Structure 1
């Protein structure tokens, strides 16, 4: 679904610009007075899972044999595509596409939190460690509008639980781990639940506990994996010989992952194809911005 959606977003942009330039209908109005944009009939069926109503002649148009279906512009959000150089993209892909968990088709996909993260601490987590993780969460999410992290005292309002060994085992797949995280996601690769577990016997002092909790927490924000291509200080580095510091590159990686200027939930092949299309568009149409269109069905 998400691979197709990204192709859909790309073609949607070009249909808009093509129609606007040659047929002057990009800003056509619906009966309610709202702007309409157009997508292909096949894309409409695939995305909305239904056939459009052809009884309403104002809801579609035929151009050069292609049927285009009107979409209420209130349902879409368009933002400029976020370009990055190949050095950054190659590094980002090593972190964001986690080959340790692949879909049934053998591909790994970008995972992200669509809704806000509501963190609940088990009573076994020391007060100072709770305070430190709250401070860390504020630091890493600052300036990222689409990454919202809050903390709750009611477990029924939580979708992320931090707990210790010996507590109730909230995630059976990490029951035997000394420290690990577990996340659940839906069919759109949107993370819906998270669990972080730590063993106070192994991580017996505040410094050790805080560092491990922070490392696991940031990895759980996108099912990220660490790499040996980064300095030991980075939270995305496999090296643990130095104290971790959430530096500018770490911030840029996380901010890019949650940017609306890229497509979410896609596999690496689609990711590469989208960037190649964007580069070609920039080369061939330098004065025409390449836009990402996010649509709510």
Structure 2
């Protein structure tokens, strides 16, 4: 039976060493899955349910403990550990943890592109701008795992549309973008996967070509995760709210994007879940340095 799309969170893999025999291969794995996902697994003999292994999470979802060693249909990736300073910056950018109000932080989710980004540039976009943006695409496509970007020649082939408003009678293609000078509109599904984006630049209000390019780059970086721009970052960073024409994709910017697209973390979670997973993994590591933690991702 084809399993529904979900991921299993491996809180730990406990390495067992038998006293009466030298068996280094013995290992036990367990995971917690939502009840809806568990129902999709009932006809599979690869899993068994722990009779006391369930609890109710903060969203009142029933999470059931399952165990087994043969997860052949999923991709298993080791948990990616980061220090506290990095995680604080990541939470600020993804969940607005530093400057957001309580309600905004609670409702924020880790959003990302799962499918390849296919960019179509409208004819209103200057050719020089297109060339410079393609350099950004090439860098990100090369450096960031599981993030794929390419340009296409027809709008109906795209899931990412970029256009300029160059004159008073020009077509403003996307009325959902409320910004007069620039803006973007993202669409995502219930799994927090972004599947469509439109970016607008109004060159009648942003006259400087370098500023137009910087603004377009800023919107593109933002659209990779519906990221929150921060007031306390260095002006060079694309995650900084500082208006600065010579922004570059800094090493810290790239590290955040790489981490966001790493399969060594969960996808689509809220901040509370994100923190709980890290605390659980780090506590288990402190208790036993041999403990290993994995995420199983299903397409």
Q: Same fold (TM over 0.5)?
A: yes
Shift in Å, 1:232? 0.9
Corresponding residue for residue 135 of structure 2: 135
1:114–1:191 Cα contact (<8 Å) kept: yes
Number of corresponding residues: 273
Instruction: Select the structure that is richer in helix.
Output: 1
How far residue 225 of structure 1 moved from its aligned partner, in angstroms, is 1.4
Query: Pairwise mapping of residues 171-182 of structure 1 onto structure 2 (< 5 A)?
Result: 171-182=174-185
Structure-1 separation of matches of 2:296 and 2:85: 26
Question: Helix, strand or coil: the match of 2:151?
Answer: strand
Match of 1:212 among 191, 215, 223: 215
User: Is 2:258 aligned against 1:268?
Assistant: no
**Contact 1:180–1:216 (8 Å) recurs in 2:** yes
Q: Counterpart of 2:298?
A: 295
Aligned residue in 2 for 1:251: 254
Quick check: which one's strand share is greater?
2
For residues 49-71 of structure 1, give each alpha carbon's deviation from its aligned partner in whole angstroms, at most 9, with x where no partner exists: 44613xx8x55546677685768
What TM-score comes out, normalization by structure 2 length? Answer: 0.79
For the residues of structure 1 that align with 2:101 and 2:185, how far apart are their CA atoms?
Answer: 12
Query: Unaligned stretches of 5+ in structure 1?
Result: 28-36
CA distance in 2, matches of 1:105, 1:226: 14
Residues 274, 157 of structure 1: alpha-carbon distance in 2 compared, 3 angstrom cutoff: same
Aligned to 2:121: 121
**Equivalence for 2:95:** 97
Alpha-carbon offset, residue 185 of structure 1: 0.1
What is the CA distance between 1:262 and its match in structure 2? 0.7
What is the deviation of 1:177? 2.7
Q: Structure 1 stretch 184-193 or stretch 62-71: which is displaced more?
A: 62-71
Q: Within 5 Å, which residues of 2 pair with 1:1-297? A: 8-11=8-11, 14=13, 17=14, 43=33, 45-47=35-37, 49-50=39-40, 52-53=42-43, 58=45, 61=48, 68=66, 73-98=71-96, 106-165=106-165, 167-241=170-244, 243-296=246-299
* Aligned 8 A contact 2:113 2:193 in 1: yes
